[in-house]
Structure 1
Amino acid sequence: MRFVFVMDPMQKVLPDKDTSFALQRAALKRGHELLHTELRDLFAKDGDVWTRARELRVQDGAPFFEYGAVGDVRFADTDAVFIRKDPPFDSEYLYATLLLERARGQTLIVNDPRGLRDANEKLYALHFSRHMPKTLVASHRERILDFADEVGGTAVIKPLHGAGGAGVLLLSRKDQNARSIIETLTREETVAAMVQEYLPAVRQGDKRVLLLDGQVLGGINRVPRSDDLRSNIHVGGRVEPCEVTAQERAVVDDIAPRLRADGLYFVGLDFIGGKLTEVNVTSPTGIQELSAHQGRDVSEDVIAWVEKNVTSGAARSKEPPRS
């Protein structure tokens, strides 16, 4: 099969950590052809969406990747497309999802471009607010300060477009910088931010649970450094093996139908103290750490699922591209 990875340049990949690399390696192991492309390479011609793609091979050890021949490829002529571009979700990302809309129903896309547009990784979780900590999305300073008072004087504030822990700050009413923090993240009360009650359980870890088509692949626990609020691997969080609890599995069962309906097949849910904090859909990571803990390559499960659904067409959209 021919798989296209729409993502950042391979030079930015961390081969010992990145999930995209693990998926590529597993696909090659199972005999598939890999193509790599960036957002800037996409183009539409006569109603079809194409891209300027490079053949790709990856391996453990240096050099960990090698590009091959370059050529124009029509997405409808490929078997599956992995959209793995890291945030931020900016205008170019938006335009890319609109272009890739033309390929819906013609090839298997993980994750669906329409689903990616609808599923801001902070705001999408509000569909499942019954499972979340107390949460406010607002831009007005006094409303945010009042909310911090309501949840005991301490909250966490974060930008809606961030990823990897960028911009996540502790907001304390006792801190003389509280107003400045709000004004910075809301750009002087012109842009909304997410504010959540502070969960002390974060000191024991922020759990990432990876899902494939609504089913649990497994979880990893990311423990923050002693001198940092954030537990993201990118900023130094320590990764520990963990079990997915019955409470967390119940949350997964509750939200899985909505994820499937939106074409969000490969997803990372974040839990703190059993509470759902984010739904990660653009380029969820953690599969290499999960594989190390399980003693097997979990990436192969993802590729096997893609193979099955390419063959059956079960995961392709039944709705034709819009004319």
Structure 2
Amino acid sequence: MRFVFVMDPMQRVLPDKDTSFALQRAALKRGHQLLHAELRDLFAKDGDVFARVRGLTVQNTAPFFEYGAESDVRLGEVDAIFIRKDPPFDSEYLYATLLLERARGKTLIVNDPRGLRDANEKLYPLHFSRHMPKTLVATDRERILSFVDEVGGDAVIKPLHGAGGAGVLLLARRDQNARSIIETLTREGAVAAMVQEYLPAVRQGDKRVLLLDGEVLGGINRVPRSDDLRSNIHVGGRVEPCEVTAQERAVVADIAPRLRADGLYFVGLDFIGGKLTEVNVTSPTGIQELSAHQGRDVSEDVIAWVEKHGTSLAAGTKETLRS
């Protein structure tokens, strides 16, 4: 099968951490052909979408990747497309999802471009607010300060477009910087920010639960440094093995039908103290750490699922892309 990875340049990939690299390695192991494209390589002609791609091989030792020959491919004719471009979700990302619309229904796309547009990783969880900590999304400084008072004087504020912990700050009512923090993140009331009650359980970890087609692959616990609020691996969070609790599995079962309906097949849910904080859909990470804890390559589960459903779609069946 031919798989196109639409993502950042391979030079930015961390072979021992990146989920994209693990998926590529598993696909090669299972005998598939890898093609690499950046957002700028997508183009439309006569109403169809194409990409200028490079052949790709990866391996565990340096040099970790090698590009092959370049060619133009009609994306509707490949077997699967992995959209793995890292955030931010900017105008170029938006245009890419609109171009990839032209391949919908012709090939399997993980994750669906419409789903990516609809599922801002901070705002999408509002569909499931019953599982979230107390949350406010607003631009007004006084409204935000009032909310911080309501939740006991401590909250976390974050930009709606951020990723990897960027811009996530503790918002304490007693802090003389509180007003300045709000003004900075809202650009003096011009853009909305998300504010959530501070959950002390974050000191015990921020759990990432990976899902495939609404089913749990497993979880990892990311524990923040003692001198940092954030637990993201990117900023120094320590990764520990963990179990997905019955409470968390109940949340997954509740939201899985909506994820499937939106074409969000490979997803990372973030939990703190059992509360859902984010739904990561653009390029969820953590599969290498999960594989290390489980003692097997979980990436192969993803590729096996793509093999099955990509083949079904290509054969023109009416299968609804469910296990």
Distance 1:286 1:104, change over 3 A: same
Corresponding residue of 2:321: none
Corresponding residue of 1:19: 19
Q: Is the 8 A contact 1:57 1:66 kept in 2?
A: yes
Distance 1:279 1:314, change over 3 A: farther
Q: Deviation at 1:314?
A: 9.4
Corresponding residue of 1:111: 111
TM-score, scaled relative to structure 1: 0.97
1:6 aligns with 2:6: yes
Corresponding residue of 2:132: 132
Structure 2's unaligned 5+ residue stretches are 319-323
Distance 1:121 1:314 in 2: 30
1:190 aligns with 2:195: no
**What does 1:199-278 align with in structure 2 at a 5 Å threshold?**
199-278=199-278
Deviations 1:172-195 (A, max 9, x none): 000000000000000010000000
Corresponding residue of 1:39: 39
Provide the secondary structure at the position in 1 that maps to 2:63. coil
Distance 2:108 2:281 in 1: 16
In structure 2, what residue type is equivalent to 1:222? Answer: R
Distance 1:148 1:32 in 2: 52
Provide the secondary structure at the position in 1 that maps to 2:88. coil
Distance 1:198 1:16 in 2: 32
Distance 1:33 1:43 in 2: 21
Q: Deviation at 1:312?
A: 1.6
Q: Is the 8 A contact 1:108 1:316 kept in 2?
A: no
In structure 2, what residue type is equivalent to 1:152? Answer: G
Q: Is the 8 A contact 2:106 2:314 kept in 1?
A: no
1:66 aligns with 2:66: yes
Corresponding residue of 1:296: 296
Distance 1:118 1:91, change over 3 A: same
Q: Is the 8 A contact 1:104 1:316 kept in 2?
A: no
Provide the secondary structure at the position in 2 that maps to 1:313. helix
Distance 1:317 1:284, change over 3 A: farther
In structure 1, what residue type is equivalent to 2:33? Answer: E
Distance 1:97 1:38 in 2: 12
1:168 aligns with 2:176: no
Percent identity among equivalent residues?
A: 89
Q: Deviation at 1:313?
A: 2.1
- What is the number of equivalent residue pairs in this alignment? 318
Distance 1:16 1:99, change over 3 A: same
Corresponding residue of 1:321: none
Q: Deviation at 1:27?
A: 0.1
Structure 1's unaligned 5+ residue stretches are 319-323
Deviations 1:6-41 (A, max 9, x none): 000000000000000000000000000000000011
Provide the secondary structure at the position in 2 that maps to 1:97. helix
Distance 1:88 1:247 in 2: 31
Distance 1:77 1:254 in 2: 35
Distance 2:198 2:317 in 1: 39
Q: Deviation at 1:311?
A: 1.6
In structure 2, what residue type is equivalent to 1:19? Answer: T
Distance 1:29 1:190 in 2: 49
Distance 2:123 2:87 in 1: 15
Provide the secondary structure at the position in 1 that maps to 2:284. coil
Q: Give the 4+ runs in structure 1 shifted more than 6 A.
A: 314-318
Q: Deviation at 1:315?
A: 12
Q: Is the 8 A contact 1:107 1:316 kept in 2?
A: no
Q: Is the 8 A contact 2:79 2:314 kept in 1?
A: no
Q: Is the 8 A contact 1:155 1:198 kept in 2?
A: yes
Distance 2:262 2:269 in 1: 15
Distance 1:229 1:41 in 2: 38
Distance 1:294 1:9 in 2: 29
Q: Is the 8 A contact 1:208 1:219 kept in 2?
A: yes
Corresponding residue of 1:51: 51
Distance 1:218 1:51, change over 3 A: same
Distance 1:271 1:317 in 2: 36
Q: Deviation at 1:77?
A: 1.2
1:151 aligns with 2:119: no
